[in-house]
Amino acid sequence: MAKGEQAARDIIREVKAAKVVARQLDLADTKSICQFAENIYNTEKALHYLINNAGVAICPYSTTVDGYEMQFGVNHLGHFFLTFLLLDLLKHSAPSRVINVSSIAHTMGKIQFDDLSGEKDYHPIRAYAQSKLANVLFTREMAKRTEVLGVTTYSVDPGVVATELTRHFKRPLLDVLKTFKFLAKTPAEGAYTTIYCTVTPENQLHTGGYYKDCARAEPSRAGQDDGTALKLWAVSCRLLDIRWR
């Protein structure tokens, strides 16, 4: 919260008339997600843009408060649940948008329906790629369900960005990252495509689409599999014990 509040103060200082509030949210805890959503409903009259940007990457095996594998639980299920809880406000505020920040790592991903918990065979890179593929598939399936409600949705590859997301990286991956650090984007540059999907007129975007470098791009073949997207949707609803038609 201290970092978030400092960031809010920095923005307010730099942007005249900006109103920025930092709120606590732990995507590894469904109770925290519920409390956050309740706070939003109690304090905000409208929600036009929901940017699902939080994440953990390539961490050692651990579980969320609710027992989900950490990367799948935070990167996918946490955002899925948060979006579900805020959907009424998004619909009320239509036209509105949901932007899910994925990664080029989704191209290495496969949804392991027989081992979503990672208990049988956990590999940190494979688990991360799976969670990023889930972002793309969630976007694709949600678009079909919410476009008629005035809520559009997009997935984004921000590129390789120099942030603390890499804090769990170990050698040799860490050595590769250090060698090519000069190629990494700054956090500001990493936000460009997310901002592009936020401010570009809706008729110039494709709901359900995947974007990188401020343009529509082609996701992996797995990221275009509507059958897997529908199955992931159903499994996610079952895991979270929600009904999202």
Active site members: 128
The mean of the pLDDT values for the chain is: 92
Rounded (to 5) percent helix, strand, coil in the chain: 55, 10, 35
Q: Which two tokens stand for residue 81?
A: 């649940």
| HSE-CB for 32 with a 13 A CA cutoff | 13
For 196-215, write each residue's pLDDT tens digit: 999 999 999 999 999 999 99
At 64-74, the pLDDT tens digits run 999 999 999 99
Q: What is the pLDDT of residues 3-32, one digit of tens each?
A: 999 999 999 999 989 999 999 999 999 999
CATH class of 27-240: alpha beta
User: pTM for this one?
Assistant: 0.91
Block residue for tokens 């090519």? 180
Sequence spans of domains, the chain: 27-240
pLDDT-derived band of residue 177, with 50, 70 and 90 as boundaries?
low
